[in-house]
Structure 1
């Protein structure tokens, strides 16, 4: 029995509280095809596999992956649970995300340097004004 075969069930409110998100967020993930709980009448019934998927969705978002990227990984796993294919895709996506973040970090560092220069010039001019050297 794998960890995904747990028979524990969850209501939408329980998952929302556990992960500190709104039930609307969970319904949105369902609409995007990321989760598919069973139903008992009008009530959604989430299994442990749904809970694990929700945890992975939120981790993916925290790491900067789009819901489409997360769905791609889920779809790959659903069609072929061979983890090697999914892991290779995850590695490629991670490399791409790292490259984007590295570029953003370089851009931010450059902007910080420019801001430091502007700030220094403003402080110098302000000091000159206070000394009365500039009209």
Structure 2
């Protein structure tokens, strides 16, 4: 596909980003992308393509669609993107904090599971030993 191309069909975008056309229509319903219409056919612009790419990147990084939409609104309102960058930095800090907390929670659960596993193994060994003595 030619990167200079100004218009894209829904199937072209779905194929390029390896997502379903239904997903693209969902993002449209959420107001994140706004294709033009020619009859029943959706015609996506380069702007829509870039936004779709950003939506998918944001999802991989754990941003909600609402957060992504908020960033798009900020960008549309402030083309200098100063407030957008401040907001992105704030969202990144929040995501990092949440991930660090999840990591700590996982470490605690892993420690508890290891302890439980050791206790179960010890109890099993004691039962096996007691059964051997009783035989």
TM-score if structure 2 supplies the norm length? Answer: 0.91
Report the RMSD for the aligned CA atoms in angstroms: 1.5
Structure 2: gaps spanning 5 or more residues: none
Identify the residue that residue 87 of structure 1 maps to in structure 2.
85
Instruction: Tell me, yes or no, if the aligned pair for 2:36 and 2:42 is still in contact at 8 Å.
Output: yes
Matches within 5 A, 1:1-135: 6-132=4-130
Runs (4+) of structure 1 moved beyond 4 Å? Answer: none
Equivalent residue pairs, number = 130
Equivalents in 2 of 1:125, 1:8: separation in Å? 69
* 3-state DSSP of counterpart to 2:14: helix
Q: CA deviation at 1:8?
A: 2.4
Equivalents in 1 of 2:39, 2:128: separation in Å? 75
Equivalents in 1 of 2:97, 2:51: separation in Å? 26
* 3-state DSSP of counterpart to 2:44: strand
Structure 1: gaps spanning 5 or more residues: 1-5
Equivalents in 2 of 1:112, 1:36: separation in Å? 45
TM-score if structure 1 supplies the norm length? Answer: 0.91
Instruction: Tell me, yes or no, if the aligned pair for 2:74 and 2:81 is still in contact at 8 Å.
Output: no
Higher relative contact order (CA 8 A, sep 6+): 1
